[in-house]
Amino acid sequence: MMNVLVTGGAGYIGSHTVACLAKQGHTPVVYDNLCFGHRQAIEGVKFVEGDIRDRDLLRRTIREQAIEAVIHFAAFAYVGESVIDPGKYYHNNVVGTIELLEAIRAENVQKIVFSSTCATYGEPTTIPIDENTPQAPINPYGFSKLVVERALDDYAHAYGLQFAALRYFNASGCAIEGNLGEDHTPETHLIPLILQVALGQREQITIFGDDFDTPDGTCVRDYIHVDDLASAHVAALERLSPGTRWKINLGTGQGYSVREVIDSCRRITGHEIPAVDGPRREGDPPRLIAANDLAKQLLGWQPQHREIDTIVNSAWQWMSRHPNGYEAG
């Protein structure tokens, strides 16, 4: 069992991973500046409020908490914003991660699991996407994650760092146990946006493009439940060993279209959920589906919540009880 520093651990995926770590007998220590995270999501967990770029505080936290490994989530993750304000993304996502790597190197911590993304692939021409697919990100967010992957390689080569970079697809759903959820401001994920219509917080959901080369003309994505993401991070952490330099996709290996997700939300909520067609968004590929064979092989991992109705239901159970997020109690 390890003392694990979880940067960004008060955020959506981070908080679910913190819960999974504790359940598996590890001792998580959350390090978060609460820019997007929520204290309510990590009640009862040791917490340090701090910026990922504060190397001195990171080093002090690592020493005082006897940290043995790191799971690194802390990052800005809004694709559109990264195009408008790339400096913010490079400074936080890239410079911040280098500060973290220097801190753990100085304190002789050798294990790190990094939250990467399928956005490093850009617009792939082959589906499903495996780990050998060329990485050609089309926005600063995706490129910032790719830069970190390259830095991890270099740190592993030079300093013996053990790492797993987990490239995941569409994180979705809320804790099956019902105690943790998704609470973003602004919200950009499809499922909670649709459910906000069911809650009366939005008038309708807009479908961006209905003429893609897909069965119903709308984009198809690989939705992976947040509890499955959490378990994969813990599995990766527990399997790190000298020489480990993994880059692994996390997805279910199956896709659902925007219309299929809307229909699922209608079934689960019993609400009509008006939908309107809008223009395509620039850079939206028709399909993004993961090949997850490597995760199964290296991590002994299988997604447990693959069906879209299961994913949507977990989100609806959370959102219907917490219509204003964590602030609603």
Q: Which residues, at least 6 apart from 200, have a Cβ–Cβ distance to it below 8 Å?
A: none
Residue 19, token pair as written in the block: 């819960």
- DSSP, collapsed to helix, strand or coil, labels residue 299 as helix
168 flagged as catalytic: no
Task: Write down the residue that tokens 């790492």 correspond to.
Answer: 163
- DSSP, collapsed to helix, strand or coil, labels residue 183 as coil
Q: Which residues, at least 6 apart from 153, have a Cβ–Cβ distance to it below 8 Å?
A: 245
Burial per residue of 117-155, b for 16 or more beta-carbon CB atoms within 10 angstroms, e otherwise: bbbbbbebeebbbebebebebbbbbbbbbbbbbebbeeb
CA dist., res. 197 & res. 108, Å (int): 49
> For the chain, how big is the Rg over CA atoms in Å?
19
End-to-end CA distance of the chain: 32
Residue 125, token pair as written in the block: 């021409």
Amino acid at 249: N
| Nearest C-alpha neighbor of 287 from the set 125, 120, 78, 139 | 125
Whether the link from the prior residue into 128 is cis, omega within 30° of 0, is yes
Active-site residue identified among 121, 141, 223, 256: 141
Residues that are catalytic: 141
